[in-house]
A and B are shown apart, each in its own frame.
Chain A
Amino acid sequence: MNPTLHSILAFVQTWWVELLCAVLIVLVVPLIAGYLALVERKVMADMPARLGPMRVGPPGLLQPIADALKLLIKEDSIPDNADRFIFWLAPVLSVTAALTSMGAVAFGPWFQAARDINIGLLFVVGVSSLGPIGIVLGGWASNNHYSIIGALRSTAQLISYETTAGFALVSGLLLAGTLNVRAIVEAQRTDHAWYIFLAPVGFSTYLIASIAETNRAPFDLPAAASELVAGYMTEYSGFRWSLYFLAEYANMIVVASVGTTLFLGGWLRPFPNVHWLGWLDAAPTLLLAAVGAYCVFRAGKQPARLQSLVMWAVAFSSFVVSAIFVFASPFSHLPLAKMHDGLYGAFWFLLKVSAYIYIFMWLRFALPRFRFEQLMRLGWHILIPLALVNVVGVAIALALHSEFSWNRWLATFFTTLATLGAAMMLLRWNDKYSAAAALLADSSIAEDLHAG
């Protein structure tokens, strides 16, 4: 046999799961991003008790597909004085950075495009921070004032909050002691605690920073519609626009996955070591069966025949997945039982990621937008020092536990209390300082008037 072919075959034999995951991520994530947008529109509509998209497909279920088709065949205009090559390159860069960083994320103990790389989390953080380059290039290439202001804002915001996110991750890594994504989750199993409980301030700062890093409301200043038209994507239309859109949603999934892996126990079920809570393992089956039953119940009440057909289809697929979970349970003797860890892990992981993303959407519709200098002040004056103090607090709690054999929860309680005290102090300083700065600004305005 040809030796090259042979080595390729050997390679595929060793890494086929990873390669399959890679192909799946590239194929499925754009679809998931489209459906996330649908969910977001539904949530947006639900908050004031409306219905959201209802026309395309039964309860709006085919809306993302229609949108995708429209965007793919839509006219794609480039302004005359734009830099054509960079205009073309920028969204590609953005989406590549967002999707590549997904490679090191483990969606359950089995599903990861890069298994066993020992810098997993660092890879995710590093590659996803290439995204701003795509944004700033896009804004610059458009040669539009709104675009360039949006790009500058976006870069300033992303790099400011990346620092906060980095410090927040350090507080979790102190507890985990490894960067390998699988090892982090396993460390939470052996520690008998999700790290959100051992580093609550770290998780909160990461949550805020991750919202700012994905340019989501209330920190959506780079694309603030009422100020900057659409910010850095003002000139983009058609499929290029949807690439930016895809990058935003892929980034949301990435930050949610990182938060889930490090702070929310990854693919572990709640209380993974408590045996009498073992019935929680039945939750995936029961939940999906309940969804299926609800769809069957609602199918007869749909006004159109097509609508009830789709409801039946959704019910059927929920029942099928539910049955897969039953066959994959440890009690069955089918070959599927070997997949037990992977399937159940993926369920809990995706459930936690969905909850995290739901918080993003909830905040978007509940809070008004920040002003840019308020956003920078929150980042540099409060969150960065708070995240730093929290790193120190978590380190001291660990040292108290191991050196002076304090109870772990007691040590965490006291250090968290101290960290929150520091946060209060920072807020008071900031108020005093900004009052003084406002006075100063007033006097300088007066001077300007005098001079002008």
Chain B
Amino acid sequence: MPAAYIPLLLFSLLVLTFPVVTLVVFKCIRPGSRGGPAKFQPYECGILPETSARGRYSARFYIIGMLFVVFEVETIFLFPWAILFRTWLAQHLAAFALSYMFVFLGILLVGYVWLYKKGALDLA
């Protein structure tokens, strides 16, 4: 029922206004920031930063990101199955309900074991 989502929409707008309004209102009250150029350097424990921080970083994070997409999509496919599982059991479709997902999980498992052996899951 779409009508039930309208309070939720209003709620999220209300939530969004809370930090924005507080930030803007208290900007007028609090003191402005003053200080020399040294104060507005990035804080890196007293050492002046030599380079911009937005440089290269480990490609491991990229692999983790890709793996996340695979497994999260997997979770999304599991949700409807989990919701319907007891309905199917009540209709005596247990063999169907189990095998349906076990094939899916089996395919995932093969991929997972391969990743494990390749060392894609190691960050060190």
Residues of A within 8 A of B (CB): 11, 15, 18-19, 22-23, 25-26, 30, 72-82, 88, 91-92, 95-96, 99-100, 103-104, 113-117, 122-123, 140, 142-149, 152, 155-156, 159-160, 162-163, 166-167, 170-171, 173-175, 177-179, 229, 234-235, 238-240, 243, 372-373, 376-377, 380-381, 384-385, 388, 391-392, 395-396, 398-399, 402-403, 433, 437, 441
Contact = CB atoms under 8 A, between A and B. Distances in A.
A159 B40 contact: no
Contact of B72 (A95, A100, A163): A163
A229 B78 contact: no
B10 interface: yes
B99 to A, nearest CB: 11
A395 B71 CA distance: 19
A53 B43 CA distance: 29
A145 B10 contact: no
Contacts of A148: 53-54, 57
Interface string B70-92: 01101100110011111101101
Nearest to A372: B123
B45 A229 contact: yes
A77 B32 CA distance: 8
A391 B35 CA distance: 57
B30 A75 contact: yes
B83 A177 contact: yes
The DSSP consensus for interface residues of chain A is helix
Contacts of A75: 30-34
Nearest to B71: A163
A178 B82 CA distance: 8
Contact of B85 (A15, A174, A235, A243): A174
A73 B28 CA distance: 9
Given A75-B31, A76-B27, 19 more contacts: A26-B15, A72-B22, A73-B26, A74-B30, A75-B32, A77-B35, A96-B12, A96-B19, A117-B8, A145-B42, A147-B42, A159-B64, A162-B72, A166-B72, A171-B82, A173-B83, A239-B22, A391-B78, A399-B94
A24 B55 CA distance: 44
A115 B1 CA distance: 11
B41 to A, nearest CB: 7
B7 A396 contact: no
Contact of A377 (B15, B29, B37, B123): B123
Interface residues of B, number: 74
Nearest to B37: A80
7 contacts: A19-B7, A88-B23, A149-B57, A171-B82, A372-B123, A395-B85, A403-B94
A11 B6 contact: yes
| Cβ-closest 10 pairs across A and B | A166-B75, A144-B42, A373-B124, A114-B8, A22-B11, A159-B68, A18-B7, A380-B121, A80-B40, A173-B82
Contacts of B19: 91-92, 95-96, 243
Contacts of B79: 122, 170, 173, 179
Given A148-B54, A163-B75, A76 B30 contact: yes
Nearest to B27: A76
Contact of A392 (B61, B64, B105): B105
B19 to A, nearest CB: 5
Given A77-B39, A78-B33, A96-B15, A146 B44 contact: yes
A391 B109 CA distance: 13
B53 A78 contact: no
Contacts of B16: 92, 96
Interface in B59-73: 61, 64-65, 67-68, 71-72
